[in-house]
Amino acid sequence: MSTYRVTGKTMKETLMASSIVLADALGTPVNHTFVPIGRDKNGIFWFEDQSQANAIGFWKIAAELKRPEAPNGKASSDGRSYRVKIGLHEPVLENVSNSTISGIAPAPTLSYVCRSFTEFVMPERASLQNRKDLRKMQANLLAEAQILSLVESLVYIS
């Protein structure tokens, strides 16, 4: 659902954030619910899957929209583009043993983070259909066999 918010003299269309549900790639897929958290100081909107026992293990989605600068009187539309950046961050916690001398389990430790980033660069002149085509074809590209092998099996395309 879209609402309009007035910011200074410009009208910006905004969308109220809601949870995003994504299935993982397990044999029996598990749905992960990413709840809206809000914007950070850089204007990036964050969603978190808070199903891990500790916050350092929360999976996250980042969403950012950068608009072109306001045009001056003599500016053309050349080089004026919107940029949409989407990131998925999936931290993996270290497996730690509970067998300490004190009997107290050690604090969770981050082992590594798998990440993906998608950036759409769309000229200001691009039509709605141009933007729809770009998003749809990007989604289809990620499901294409060669790209699947490249990402999942780390197999070069020759």
132-145: pLDDT as tens digits: 999 999 999 999 99
Distance of alpha carbon 153 from its chain centroid, rounded? 22
Comparing CA positions, the residue from 44, 25, 23, 51 lying closest to residue 151 is 25
| CB-based burial label for 16 (10 Å; 0-12, 13-18, 19+) | exposed
pLDDT beyond 80 at 4 = no
Q: Is residue 47 part of a domain?
A: yes
pLDDT beyond 50 at 23 = yes
Q: Is residue 21 part of a domain?
A: no
Domain of residue 143 covers: 127-158
**Cα–Cα distance between 93 and 56 in angstroms, integer?**
8
Q: Do residues 155 and 143 share a domain? A: yes
pLDDT beyond 80 at 54 = yes
pLDDT of residue 9: 43
Q: Do residues 89 and 141 share a domain? A: no
Which has more confidence, 147 or 76? Answer: 147
- Model confidence, pTM: 0.83
